[in-house]
Amino acid sequence: MERETLTVERRRLVEAIADALYQRGPGMAFTGAGISTESGIPDYRGPNGLWSRENPTRFRDFLADPEVRRRYWDRRRERYPVLASARPNAGHIALARLQAAGYLDTIVTQNIDGLHQKAGSPPERVIELHGTAHAIRCLACELLWPAERFDPGPPGTIPACPVCGGLLKEATVAFGEPVPRRLLERALALAETTPVMLVVGTSLAVVPAAHVPRRAARSGAFVAIVNDEPTPLDREAHVVVRARAGAALTYLAELLVGAPAEPAGEERERSV
Ligand SMILES: [Zn+2]
């Protein structure tokens, strides 16, 4: 894999993040769509996002209108294979290596693609604030099915819960649907005590998720941001690296953990 190179100035900024994690860590990471675009997954919620190119499904419309549910399931049948076949990239792999080496504790993510876990991050140390596309949930009885073992039926049909007949939806947080309180509170509690908050690939536009890094900043954490666009937290951050996630995080992991055993983590990906 061809590796994007960092300018000297950006390398210095990444070195400052490495120093903070080395001196004060373990820290935590907060990630968004920008870490997954290098895996070929368009920004789920952004204006050009795969799922939102047409009108995104609003939760209240989903509940109220069978036609909305039919379109939702047709889109999911067509688009889920893109997510299911996506591979973690250098950014996900670097964060997993930093976790394994003890420099990062929990990753809080807004992504629903499961790529942190595919890269080797322990599932119990990944908080998916917006849920996961890799499971199907019954809105009535709360039962969950792994997506790979769930057959949504032929196009044009709306699957129902085989246990209670309730409405089924992918286990993600739709527009207008609340973030599960338990997850948000756990993420905020971790943010309050973390010594280092590493924000990656998000412009921090979506609340309440964006409250998590903000809570860390207000609680005195060292805040580092790796993103290719400005964020509202830049002014409060100690380090802002205007770069894509893959190159910056790979260098960060190299500084703290050393070069990866296999180039671009191909073996690691295959073994998951
Ligand atoms: Zn049910």
In which residue are the tokens 């199907």 written?
Answer: 136
Ranges of each domain in the chain: 1-40+88-130+180-272, 42-85+131-172
From CA 219, how far away is CA 208, in angstroms rounded?
17
Which residue among the candidates 92, 116, 130, 134 is catalytic per the annotation?
130
Say how many Å lie between the CA of residue 53 and the centre of ligand 1.
Answer: 30
pLDDT of 257 higher than 90: yes
Q: Residue 272 pLDDT more than 50?
A: no
Q: How far is the CA of 150 from the centre of ligand 1 (A)?
A: 14
Report residue 43's pLDDT band, with 50, 70 and 90 as the boundaries. low
Question: Would you call 252 helix, strand, or coil by DSSP?
Answer: helix
Percent of the chain with pLDDT over 70: 89
| Average pLDDT for 20-35 | 97
Tens-place pLDDT, residues 74-111:
989 988 888 899 999 999 999 999 999 999 999 999 99
* Range with lowest mean pLDDT among 54-58, 71-75, 210-214: 54-58
- Concerning whether 211 is annotated as a catalytic residue, the answer is no
Class of 1-40+88-130+180-272 per CATH? alpha beta
Pick the CATH number of 42-85+131-172 from 3.40.50.10490, 2.30.30.60, 3.30.1600.10, 3.20.20.70: 3.30.1600.10
Q: How far is the CA of 135 from the centre of ligand 1 (A)?
A: 14
Residue 258 pLDDT > 50: yes
Compute the distance from residue 152 Cα to the ligand 1 centre, in Å. Answer: 14
